[in-house]
Amino acid sequence: VKLDVVFTPAEADAAKLAGRTVVVIDVLRATSTIVEALANGARAVIPVDTVERAVRTASEIGRGDTLLCGERGSKLIEGFHLGNSPLEFTAEHVAGKTLVMTTTNGTMALLAAGAARRCVLGAFLNATAVTAALAEEDDAVLLCAGREGRFALEDAVCAGWIGRRMAQRGRTRATDSARAAMRLASRLGRPPLRFLRRTAGGAQLRRLGLGRDVEFCGAIDRHTSVPELRDRRAVL
Amino acid sequence: VKLDVVFTPAEADAAKLAGRTVVVIDVLRATSTIVEALANGARAVIPVDTVERAVRTASEIGRGDTLLCGERGSKLIEGFHLGNSPLEFTAEHVAGKTLVMTTTNGTMALLAAGAARRCVLGAFLNATAVTAALAEEDDAVLLCAGREGRFALEDAVCAGWIGRRMAQRGRTRATDSARAAMRLASRLGRPPLRFLRRTAGGAQLRRLGLGRDVEFCGAIDRHTSVPELRDRRAVL
């Protein structure tokens, strides 16, 4: 399999995602949260870029079974039902609901992946399941959401972790960035993922009292489900 | 010292270079070649973005002591005096000359660094000298040129190598990307730098019969000089 890793959405154009299979990774926290939400019975998660568009999209769908979710600066958005903490997305809250979500990094990466032939959502929570979902693919791009346009270590290590699993399954041709990610994962990707606490994203969440989110997002293979983007909605 | 690494010029805006000290790194081959050229007595190297601008700039300066240099697709540009191979930039060819240079990745990164307060040029060829040149700085950004808008492993490892040297000199606060680069360098940055041959850039040069360039650019500390960009010219 030909394996590429893109460390920031800013590189997505240069990486030529059109027509390819893309895995979007935002460990802290958007793809972790979406994996958790769908595993807990949410019907779909619709990523949108702005708060205004989230409100408009939700009202178009009809508010009855719709929840507004997301964050700005890691915090709940005023008037929204849920933030971006995976711990909030329990079956009690989300089962049967359609979630409209806007976050700083993850939803941007999901929108950047719009040109992909197939787009799946990955995190440590479903990492092994992602490698299984890619088993039939000849070519995969792991697209890291990054953080405010910059490299995020947790996404790179998660991409490298998935890449290493794929390399165990069969011969892999890796780009420079995929090789780099796999090397990072070989040192940092061993559970428990203590390095997460020291990443820029992990440290910010801990400062905001969201340390439990960091621990939660570092649980490898909590789920076997792999959300895919279909018609701009993340579904199982 | 606060240490940041930027893996691609695409991230330069997000990294907020304005007013900071930036080290531009394009191991294969632009900054290696510029370090070599200035060490061999070139008066200045002027990076420009296009072939047309190179020709215009050279004719404005006066062709007597000016050389047109650079590459497209790693190859010599028609009508130019020199390509982008450091082996061409001997004292015989370049001493006393002003070089106008356009390359695919490196000169783009140098132009992206235009907002910096101070911009120095780094490569393996002058890596230890770069750390010495930064000894008085509280804050440094190592800006990798990358390759066609993408992550390039050789630039990341060179940045990590410089970062590790800086960390040996004193307490360093590293961003996620700086930590990643330093980890990559701890594995790959040991001379001789065999990994260079297997990078995307190294492999392309070898395919073009330029394997000697790859070896040359992997020589650590060949020079003690650190070019700086002054008034848009790289000088010693």
Please tell me whether residue A226 adopts helix, strand or coil conformation: coil
Q: Side chain identity at B201, as an amino acid letter?
A: G
| Confidence bin at B16 (pLDDT 50/70/90) | confident
Contacts of B176 (CB under 8 A, 6+ apart): A147, A150, A151, A152, A153, A199, A200
The residue of chain A with its CA nearest to that of B187 is A183
Residue in B167, B173, B182, B48 with CA at minimum distance from that of residue B106: B48
- Chain B contact for A203, CB < 8 A? no
Give the 3-state DSSP-derived string for A6-72, with helices as H, strands as E and coil as C. ECCHHHHHHHCCCCCEEEEECCCCHHHHHHHHHHCCCCEEEECCCHHHHHHHHHHHCHHHEEEEEEE
**Between B14, B177, B187, which is nearest A183 by CB?**
B187
| Residue B114, pLDDT score | 86
Contacts of A87 (CB under 8 A, 6+ apart): A212, A213, A216
| Residue A63, pLDDT score | 66
**Between B11, B175, B179, which is nearest A149 by CB?**
B11
* Residue range B104-135, pLDDT digits in tens: 899 889 998 988 999 999 999 999 999 999 99
Residue B63 predicted with pLDDT over 70:
no
Please tell me whether residue B1 adopts helix, strand or coil conformation: coil
Residue in A197, A206, A199 with CA at minimum distance from that of residue A74: A206
As a whole number, mean pLDDT of residues A108-127 equals 94
Question: Which of residues 63 through 92 in chain B touch A, CB cutoff 8 A?
Answer: none
**Between A13, A153, A176, which is nearest B152 by CB?**
A176
| Confidence bin at A197 (pLDDT 50/70/90) | very high
Give the ipTM: 0.93
* Residue range A141-176, pLDDT digits in tens: 999 999 999 999 999 999 999 999 999 988 899 999
Judge: B153–A180 Cβ closer than 8 Å, yes or no.
Answer: yes
Please tell me whether residue B212 adopts helix, strand or coil conformation: helix
The residue of chain B with its CA nearest to that of A177 is B151
| Residue B125, pLDDT score | 98
Residue A54 predicted with pLDDT over 80:
yes
The residue of chain B with its CA nearest to that of A152 is B176
| Confidence bin at A227 (pLDDT 50/70/90) | very high
DSSP secondary structure of B46-109: EE-SSHHHHHHHHHHH-GGGEEEEEEETTEEPTT-SB-S-GGG--HHHHTTPEEEEE-SSHHHH
**Between A6, A13, A152, which is nearest B176 by CB?**
A152
Question: What global pTM score does this model have?
Answer: 0.95
- Chain A contact for B7, CB < 8 A? yes
